[in-house]
Amino acid sequence: MPSFRHLPDYMVPMHCDPFSKTAVAMLHKQGIPAHRITYGWSQFGGARGFHAAVLFQLNGKFYFMDNARMGPRPVAGKTDLGCVAHISGEWGNLVWMCNEENERVAPRKMADLFAPNPEWMKSVQVGTKFDEQ
């Protein structure tokens, strides 16, 4: 299981955005498929906000990690929203997925989110290639 303790903003309140970006980069560097997710939340009584976290797959299981947790938590859900609800699903707590502009978006299926790249994509080269002369 990867450790996140050495990352900046680990366990720092209100630093979910930079933590999630650094965590995804670290996981990708280790070859672990990971996606940054953003979601909105609202509690009964008026409190509301937005949060960023990381979903990653390790040994066929899905895990959730954010800057408010000491370590990754296993999650069960067919969508990214289902995984978020698994973590924050309390009575009176509503959650929804959103994009980087905090606009509500449809949940994504975990099977699609972590699907392997299609064969045709392996032949696509990104960036510029300079011919040696």
Q: What are the boundaries of each domain within the chain? A: 16-113
pTM of the model: 0.81
Q: E strands within the chain? A: 34-43, 48-58, 61-65, 73-74, 93-98
Whole-number average pLDDT of the chain? 85
Place of tokens 């309140």: 13
Contact status, residue 19 vs residue 66, Cβ threshold 8 Å: yes
Q: Edge-to-edge, what's the strand order for the sheet holding 93-98?
A: 73-74, 61-65, 48-58, 34-43, 93-98
To which H or E segment does residue 75 belong? none
Q: 9 is written with which tokens?
A: 């903003």
The number of CA neighbours under 13 Å toward the Cβ of 100 is 5
Nearest to 4 by CA among 13, 15, 20, 88: 20
Render pLDDT for 12-43 as a digit per residue (tens, 0 to 9).
Answer: 888 999 999 999 999 999 999 999 999 988 88
**pLDDT at residue 77 in the model:** 86
Render pLDDT for 92-121 as a digit per residue (tens, 0 to 9).
Answer: 788 899 998 888 999 999 988 888 766 665
Contact status, residue 59 vs residue 82, Cβ threshold 8 Å: no
